[in-house]
């Protein structure tokens, strides 16, 4: 079934904000087998909204509208719907109840302006908004089932799940849901992934799509229909084998989550010594609840004094090889592992730029050390890109080195 | 002048990607006084693209189209334009030259499929794409000046600046450019900012808009016309006085950049001891080139052993007050400042959740210490929200404490 989306708001058309609601609606609808056919965005202008509502309601069986349900003067959606579909505004008692209940639940005093949010076209069905003051509503024009939702993404998404999708299934039947498995790959290019999967010969009914979330390639396996899950259960291991140990995570998980899971499962502790990544590895790991189970400590050793004091990097290494060297990365990994008495340790030292490069060690030169009970292993890299890219690649490469070690031990 | 935007691509309507091109186009056009009136997004389907082109070209004097110019089978834009406007496809020699030049410049072998990118409607003007293989083109229907650009954001934006805006100004005259000043505020709510600015009485010709980039409120002062800059020069200091020392940054700068600038200007060094923020403060500061000028070191002390070894937090404090306590934050700040022999030091310890809270110290309890030559100052906070929110607020509050200290010294 084809669905149209209409998003409303000046902020979406003056460059302040990108519209994320269309993609959020599309993702949820696709999972239930409905297809967003087009999306229109207009400003907070009465005539534009009225014309857009009529245009879109004329085209498809279902229309999802987001935005313009708030209490302020530039919130025009309810009035525009009244005009577009010849349904005068009225005080909607159910909507009044919803708005009042919201304020009561949150111990807030209701501003008289919030009354406006209960003035809705006649004959609409109210859609509860658990997370905000603006109730949504459903208006059936006879040709088009129109759902009006607030523009705030968290409220909109919750209402989509709780109020819109159940009604779509009830009124329009279930779609042909598409199921998806995502494999996240680090270290192989998109064409290389494609070639490996072609060679592996996946079932024809499984669609393969690629996406890039730099520096990761997302391989998406998709199937529709009642046997989608079975088909994907059978296909996923084939795809994994084809991509080998370059698969770093699955589904919504990240590389950092894979590393955290492996450390936790193996009851190993970790220590970090970061120079050019400046705490970003530690930040990614501590984003995750439960990081205290494995992260003993991290050092952001920007100055040489910190490398000497805390990591026991020998003065001679700093003087002869410099802070950006394989020897320094080795000493850092060894030093932090011993200081923390951790099972494993990672070290990163490099030149992220834009300044600090030399002919022998240009910007992008990075050394990553991994220390374990069996000693230290250091590799040198030359990443290209700006400061953010070099740092990002360093973080991912370090975590990936650790992942590969943990998967073998 | 009103402009329409048409974005083309399945990935924008199946939930894979949010459309960022519309906002990018709108931002650049607004700066030159042009106004995006609506934006439509359609799938890679010939009929849909043809209908959309006709609809949008009919409505406004200028149409900007992005996407569907690549070499693969699902890139249909040129052919759809040919159909929509009755301009058959032909080999365009100028486009052929552009495509060939791109491959030559990058020492790449051209794939025969790339020939397709030079098959364009008759009578179009070629728009150079410095950054990719797909040339853009301009097609004047007589009623509407249509610009066709690739969907890759970096390519699209470069072409907008280099090829589209100069032609718009030549063909349609300059718009009434809007100038903007952004003040970033931390610690005041949006309504509070509004009330302070209303009380300050800004000139009527200056529009005030608000945006939220959590936890910051962005106050946007806007003016149009030839005297815009003068008017904003006069208004900005008034607004700053009204908002007081809650203004943490201006324009594109961030709070971290303000702190980095102050430290660099004052030639002060900094050391960090982070527990619940897990390296995020260090990460934000080292995102900036030149951080080595002031950042001596940072410690991510997750385990108590690290707090004892490196920060000399007394065992008694850890045992009696616990690691999340004002005393511990004080000892951490003092300890890291002494270990690093830095001018100033920040410490953060807290419970980010979701687990680890107790009735006395619920999730969101955070202590932040600031150590300087005159001693340590610790404040306790109780932030509400999920793990990410508590950590984000802790990072911003710590940086803001440091900013306030530096601005007074």
Q: Would the CB atoms of A39 and B40 count as touching at under 8 Å?
A: yes
Give A403→chain B minimum CA distance, Å: 20
> CB-CB: which of A37, A274, A296 is closest to B302?
A296
The DSSP code sequence of B4-68 is EEEEE-GGGTTTS--B-HHHHHHHHHHHTT-EEEEEEEE-S-HHHHHHHHHHHHHH-SEEEEES-
Give A125→chain B minimum CA distance, Å: 27
Which residue in the block uniquely carries the two structure tokens 């505020």?
B185
Q: What is the pLDDT of residue A133?
A: 85
**Which DSSP category does B117 fall into?**
G
Using one digit for the tens of pLDDT, what is the confidence trace for A149-202? Answer: 999 898 999 999 999 999 999 988 877 777 889 999 999 988 889 899 999 999
Assigned CATH for A2-172? 3.40.980.10
B-chain CB neighbours of A278 within 8 Å are: 279, 282-283, 285-287, 291, 295, 298
pLDDT > 70: what percent of chain B? 100
A-chain CB neighbours of B26 within 8 Å are: 13-15
**Which DSSP category does A143 fall into?**
S
Range in A11-20, A347-356, B166-175 the model is least confident about: B166-175
Which residue in the block uniquely carries the two structure tokens 């309507």?
B13
**CA of B389: which chain A residue's CA is closest?**
A287
> CB-CB: which of B19, B292, B298 is closest to A18?
B19
Which is nearest to B60 in space by CA: A398, A13, A77, A206? A13
Q: What is the mean pLDDT of residues A375-403?
A: 96
Place A295 in a pLDDT band, splitting at 50, 70 and 90: very high
Q: What is the mean pLDDT of residues B40-53?
A: 97
Fold of B255-408: Maf protein (3.90.950)
Q: What is the pLDDT of residue B339?
A: 96
Query: Can you give the pTM of this predicted structure?
Result: 0.82
Using one digit for the tens of pLDDT, what is the confidence trace for B117-139? Answer: 899 999 999 999 988 888 999 99
Mutate which: B26, B311, B353, vs A, most A CBs within 10 A = B26
Give B18→chain A minimum CA distance, Å: 5
Q: How far apart are CA A275 and CA A273, in angstroms?
A: 7
Where do the CATH 3.40.980.10 domains begin and end in chain B?
Answer: 2-172
Assigned CATH for B178-250? 3.30.70.2860
Per-residue pLDDT at B179 exceeds 90 = no
Q: Would the CB atoms of A298 and B297 count as touching at under 8 Å?
A: no
Give B9→chain A minimum CA distance, Å: 10
Give B295→chain A minimum CA distance, Å: 7
Q: What is the mean pLDDT of residues A342-358?
A: 96
Q: Say how many Å lie between the first and final Cα of chain A, rounded.
A: 49
Q: Would the CB atoms of A289 and B41 count as touching at under 8 Å?
A: no
Q: Would the CB atoms of B287 and A278 count as touching at under 8 Å?
A: yes
Mutate which: B4, B8, B13, B208, vs A, most A CBs within 10 A = B13
**CA of B390: which chain A residue's CA is closest?**
A287
Sheet of A35-42: strands edge to edge? A125-127, A136-140, A145-149, A62-66, A2-8, A35-42, B35-42, B2-8, B62-66, B145-149, B136-140, B125-127
Q: What is the mean pLDDT of residues A387-396?
A: 96
Where do the CATH 3.90.950.20 domains begin and end in chain B?
Answer: 255-408
Using one digit for the tens of pLDDT, what is the confidence trace for B20-30? Answer: 999 999 999 98
**Contact A148/A138 with Cβ under 8 angstroms?**
yes
Which is nearest to A128 in space by CA: A153, A98, A90? A98
Using one digit for the tens of pLDDT, what is the confidence trace for A252-288? Answer: 899 999 999 999 999 999 999 999 999 999 999 999 9
Q: Would the CB atoms of A289 and B341 count as touching at under 8 Å?
A: no
Which residue in the block uniquely carries the two structure tokens 């089932």?
A145
Q: What is the mean pLDDT of residues A109-115?
A: 78
- Which residues lie closer than 8 Å to B216 by C-beta, 6 or more apart? B184, B185, B186, B248, B255, B396
> CB-CB: which of A22, A30, A387 is closest to B289?
A387
Q: Average model confidence (pLDDT) for chain A?
A: 94
Q: Would the CB atoms of A299 and B298 count as touching at under 8 Å?
A: yes
Per-residue pLDDT at A385 exceeds 90 = no
Q: What is the pLDDT of residue A109?
A: 77
Higher pLDDT, A347 or B384: A347
Encoding tokens for residue A215? 């520096």
A-chain CB neighbours of B194 within 8 Å are: none
Q: Would the CB atoms of A12 and B39 count as touching at under 8 Å?
A: yes
> CB-CB: which of B22, B52, B339 is closest to A309?
B339
Per-residue pLDDT at B60 exceeds 80 = yes
Q: What is the pLDDT of residue B16?
A: 86
Q: What is the pLDDT of residue A233?
A: 96
Q: Would the CB atoms of A18 and B20 count as touching at under 8 Å?
A: yes
Q: Would the CB atoms of B42 and A38 count as touching at under 8 Å?
A: yes
pLDDT > 70: what percent of chain A? 100
Task: Quote ipTM for the complex.
Answer: 0.81
**CA of A51: which chain B residue's CA is closest?**
B38
Q: What is the mean pLDDT of residues A355-360?
A: 93
A-chain CB neighbours of B353 within 8 Å are: 289
**CA of A39: which chain B residue's CA is closest?**
B41
Q: Would the CB atoms of B297 and A301 count as touching at under 8 Å?
A: yes
Give A59→chain B minimum CA distance, Å: 12
Place A320 in a pLDDT band, splitting at 50, 70 and 90: very high
**CA of A40: which chain B residue's CA is closest?**
B40
Q: What is the pLDDT of residue B189?
A: 85
């Amino acid at each position: 079934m084809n669905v149209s989306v209409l998003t409303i708001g000046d902020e979406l058309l003056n460059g302040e904000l990108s519209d994320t609601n269309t993609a959020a609606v599309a993702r949820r609808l696709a999972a239930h087998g409905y297809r967003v056919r087009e999306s229109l965005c207009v400003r907070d202008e009465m005539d534009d909204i009225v014309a857009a509502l009529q245009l879109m309601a004329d085209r498809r069986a279902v229309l999802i509208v987001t935005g313009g349900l708030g209490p302020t003067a530039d919130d025009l959606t309810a009035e525009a719907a009244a005009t577009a579909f010849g349904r005068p505004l009225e005080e909607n008692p159910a909507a009044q109840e919803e708005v009042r209940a919201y304020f009561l639940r949150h111990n807030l005093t209701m501003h008289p302006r919030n009354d406006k949010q209960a003035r809705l076209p006649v004959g609409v069905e109210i859609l509860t908004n658990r997370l905000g003051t603006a109730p949504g509503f459903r208006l059936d024009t006879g040709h088009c089932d129109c759902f009006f939702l607030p523009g705030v993404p968290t409220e909109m998404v919750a209402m989509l799940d709780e109020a819109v999708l159940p009604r779509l299934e009830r009124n329009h039947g279930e779609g042909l849901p598409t199921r998806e498995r995502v494999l996240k790959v680090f270290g192989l290019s998109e064409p290389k992934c494609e070639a490996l999967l072609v060679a592996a010969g996946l079932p024809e009914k499984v669609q393969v799509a690629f996406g890039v979330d730099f520096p990761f390639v997302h391989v998406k396996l998709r199937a529709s229909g009642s046997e989608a899950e079975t088909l994907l259960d059978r296909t996923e291991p084939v795809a994994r084998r084809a991509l080998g140990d370059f698969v770093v995570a699955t589904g919504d998980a990240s590389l950092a989550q894979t590393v955290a899971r492996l450390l936790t499962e193996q009851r190993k502790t970790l220590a970090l010594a970061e120079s050019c990544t400046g705490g970003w590895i530690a930040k990614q790991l501590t984003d995750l609840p439960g990081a205290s189970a494995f992260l003993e400590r991290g050092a952001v050793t920007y100055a040489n004094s910190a490398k000497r004091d805390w990591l026991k990097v020998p003065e001679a290494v700093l003087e002869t090889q410099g802070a950006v060297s394989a020897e320094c990365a080795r000493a850092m990994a060894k030093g932090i592992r011993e200081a923390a008495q951790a099972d494993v340790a990672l070290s990163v030292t490099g030149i992220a730029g834009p300044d600090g490069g030399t002919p022998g060690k240009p910007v992008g030169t990075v050394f990553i050390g991994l220390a374990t009970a069996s000693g230290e292993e250091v590799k040198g890299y030359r990443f290209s890109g700006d400061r953010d890219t070099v740092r990002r690649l360093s973080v991912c490469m370090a975590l990936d080195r650790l992942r590969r070690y943990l998967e073998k031990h």
